[in-house]
Structure 1
């Protein structure tokens, strides 16, 4: 849903810390493109070629969404553990919104590092563990059921209930009981852009809630633990913390692959 603000571009550059001109002259790999949200940002803001993969058939949607960029988008459907590229190939590798949904977080990190050249930059983001209370949340309470529901049924249930859940969410925030919203089976809408219309806000809430409750895996991580994964796998960590951008923030680790 278009919001009138280039939130994907702002998030991409805030998380990666990259420069569009330098990207235009780099070999770049995107792992987990989905429908092409960040693929479009790269293709629109640089003149480079993007190699992009996704495990799902969303690659077909990405291809349609970004058809105007022609051969600058090289797409493949593949698992993060079986990437169709030689090792030590890319100058830059990014994986956004994906790693928490893979079976083994550290094996996934290793798979990304393997495809990067020595001296290449790798950027990932992920769901954070904020404390002991992280998994005391409707998402983790209901996921044993929700992830097993047929996806069309889950989406229908969310759409049927999204108005009432938003009303309850807003009421709890209004009476300063926002901490209790974690028990409502809805995404945290407080980070949404302020200029969304009511219809746009509902659609964002539907899709973000579906993304939270539908994946088979959901493995949040501590930032320091992810930084250590990169260090163990032969990388120098250049940033490990929260990247802030309009509409939200993300846990991010940036690293450079060093010589073996």
Structure 2
């Protein structure tokens, strides 16, 4: 996989494999595993919370977050791949609780189009291993409100 030194290559790769990746994630139970992991964390998030799934792919983690019982005011699913976001939007619209409370945004996790201190939680699952680590962490920290959690998972 490209290490985001070449965003166009990374985007092209994930545009080509989005459907297959989504099917593989469904078949291997990734969404359920992530939901279980998120439930195990002591995340103190209120109903007015704004969360970001940075590098959301096809939206599996965004939905796992809500499956885990969290009900934020709004979720933002961000990814570089247009096709992955298309798949994510299709899944979000199938369930009202996702469609009404989720926005999909096409952007690079290394230069996100959000103000500093915007989010109450940032999720990065399967993302940082494909980016320059210091840059990825710095950008996540920039958009995260001070003292709020940054959650990683493979």
User: When the two structures are superposed, what TM-score results if normalisation uses the length of structure 1?
Assistant: 0.43
Aligned residue-pair number: 122
Moved over 6 A (4+): none
Q: Answer yes or no: is 1:36 the counterpart of 2:59.
A: yes
Distance 1:108 1:62, change over 3 A: same
Residue 33 of structure 1 deviates from its aligned partner by 0.7
Structural mapping, 1:129-148, within 5 Å: none
Residue 23 of structure 1 deviates from its aligned partner by 5.1
Which of residues 81, 101, 106 is equivalent to 1:56? 81
Residue 25 of structure 1 deviates from its aligned partner by 3.4
Distance 1:3 1:98, change over 3 A: closer
User: When the two structures are superposed, what TM-score results if normalisation uses the length of structure 2?
Assistant: 0.69
Residue 2 of structure 1 deviates from its aligned partner by 4.1
Q: Answer yes or no: is 1:25 the counterpart of 2:48.
A: yes
Unaligned runs of 5+ in 1: 127-260
Q: Hey, what does 2:145 align to over in structure 1?
A: 117
Structural mapping, 1:96-175, within 5 Å: 96-102=125-131, 104-125=132-153
Structural mapping, 1:1-260, within 5 Å: 1-2=26-27, 6-14=32-40, 17-19=41-43, 22=45, 24-44=47-67, 45-48=69-72, 49-57=74-82, 58-67=84-93, 68=95, 69-102=98-131, 104-125=132-153
Encode CA deviations 1:98-149: one digit per residue, 9 max, x unaligned.
Answer: 10011x11111000000011222112245xxxxxxxxxxxxxxxxxxxxxxx
User: Whose RCO is larger (CA < 8 A, sep 6+)?
Assistant: 2
CA RMSD of aligned residues (A): 2.2
> Is the 1:99–1:125 contact (alpha carbons within 8 Å) kept by the matching residues of 2?
no
Unaligned runs of 5+ in 2: 1-25
Distance 1:52 1:18, change over 3 A: farther
Q: Hey, what does 2:11 align to over in structure 1?
A: none
Residue 76 of structure 1 deviates from its aligned partner by 0.2
> Is the 1:52–1:74 contact (alpha carbons within 8 Å) kept by the matching residues of 2?
yes
